[in-house]
Amino acid sequence: MQHGKYRFIAGFLVVPLALYAVFVIWPFVQSIYYSFTDWTGLSPDFEMVGFDNYSKMLQDDIFWKSLQHSVLLVLLLPLVTLGLALFFAFMLNVGGRRRKGAAVTGVRGSSFYKIAYFFPQVLSIVIVALLFQFAFNPTSGMLNSTLKAIGAGSLQSDWLGDPDLALYCVMVVLIWSTVGFFVVLFSAGMASIPKDFYEAALLDGASRITTFFRITLPLLWDTVQSGWVYMGILALGVEAFTAVQVMTVGPGGPDYSTSVLPLYVYQTAFRDAQAGYATTIGVGLLIVTMLFAAVVMRLGRRERLEF
């Protein structure tokens, strides 16, 4: 009987595991293999070069610039995005004034605000990047025009053309396009927390800030931790690549000021026809991503709270 049960379970698992191995594991293995070659990506011919690509990568100034920018994104993006999302979600669910028959409630119009915050998720990141590219235009963009109209012309800047500002402009776009998703996610989590917890805390004299740090955040910690990893992967992956590629000019902005690792992999493979070296950079990106996920999961580990 037990033997038949395990064979039945294995029959269900063999197909998805085989598909996972073919479409996920095998491409990683191939990438690591090609990172030891001088493959151009256009010809079937290549030669094994050992660790030459890795030595070249460690001496590549553009690689280190891209790595620095990617690390900056992976540190700041989750922090700002999740912080804003937690604040908005808390206000929408718990931060409203006391009303008749309900001691704990969200702000008025919270349903509308949830839709408004989530709206950027409906748009493709390419469309969002294009819209903000027009907004940041130094001559006819909405931002500089607004600053001029309100008499703050001295604050006008060539936003995407300034090496000191370009990456932060891209970061603003990524925050704007993703914060709504986490507002809805955290709102769903907060809605499942019993209102009795908040009402008891408020009766004991706790402030809204105290209830957030003593009740809401501990009970949402698993969701926040997962969101942190997810945001980090976005910052190291396609979202950051798309925003930089669409919004900034040249090879990763002025003087590579917005170059990130995914963009550098793309440019090395398809612009420079150095697919072997590009996969080496990709291996470096994989290591950074895994290290980030491991650190977040390790530092965020705590005893699970249930209610």
Taking only the tens place, the pLDDT of each residue in 94-104 is: 765 665 555 56
> What pTM was estimated for this model as a whole?
0.85
Taking only the tens place, the pLDDT of each residue in 59-89 is: 999 999 999 999 999 999 999 999 999 998 8
Taking only the tens place, the pLDDT of each residue in 116-161 is: 888 888 888 899 999 999 899 888 888 888 888 888 888 888 888 8
Angstrom distances, CA of residue 273 to CA of 8, 36, 52, 78, 161: 48, 15, 17, 33, 27
Instruction: Please give the average per-residue pLDDT across 277-296, as a whole number.
Output: 90
Q: Are 143 and 160 in contact (CB under 8 A)?
A: no
| Confidence check: pLDDT of 57 > 90 | yes
Rounded to the nearest angstrom, the gap between the alpha carbon of residue 279 and the centroid of all alpha carbons in its chain is 22
Instruction: Tell me, yes or no, whether 34 lies in a domain.
Output: no
For 8, other C-beta atoms within 10 Å of its C-beta total 9
Average pLDDT, the chain: 85
Angstrom distances, CA of residue 51 to CA of 34, 46, 48, 247, 254: 11, 15, 9, 35, 31
Instruction: Please give the average per-residue pLDDT across 286-300, as a whole number.
Output: 85
Instruction: Tell me, yes or no, whether 272 lies in a domain.
Output: yes
CA dihedral 220, 223, 225, 230 (to 10 degrees): -150
Instruction: Please give the average per-residue pLDDT across 45-68, as a whole number.
Output: 91
Whole-angstrom distance, CA of residue 292 vs CA of residue 298: 10
What is the domain range of residue 246? 60-299
Instruction: Please give the average per-residue pLDDT across 184-198, as a whole number.
Output: 84
Instruction: Tell me, yes or no, whether 80 lies in a domain.
Output: yes
Whole-angstrom distance, CA of residue 89 vs CA of residue 81: 12
| Strand ranges for the chain from DSSP E | none
| Confidence check: pLDDT of 42 > 70 | yes
Output the domain CATH number for residue 250.
1.10.3720.10
Closest CA to 287 of 62, 57, 21, 80: 57
Q: How many domains does the chain have?
A: 1
Q: What is the pLDDT of residue 2?
A: 57
| Confidence check: pLDDT of 174 > 70 | yes
Instruction: Tell me, yes or no, whether 253 lies in a domain.
Output: yes
Instruction: Tell me, yes or no, whether 124 lies in a domain.
Output: yes
Closest CA to 123 of 134, 114, 131, 111: 131
Instruction: Please give the average per-residue pLDDT across 214-220, as a whole number.
Output: 86
Residue scoring higher pLDDT (132 or 203) = 132
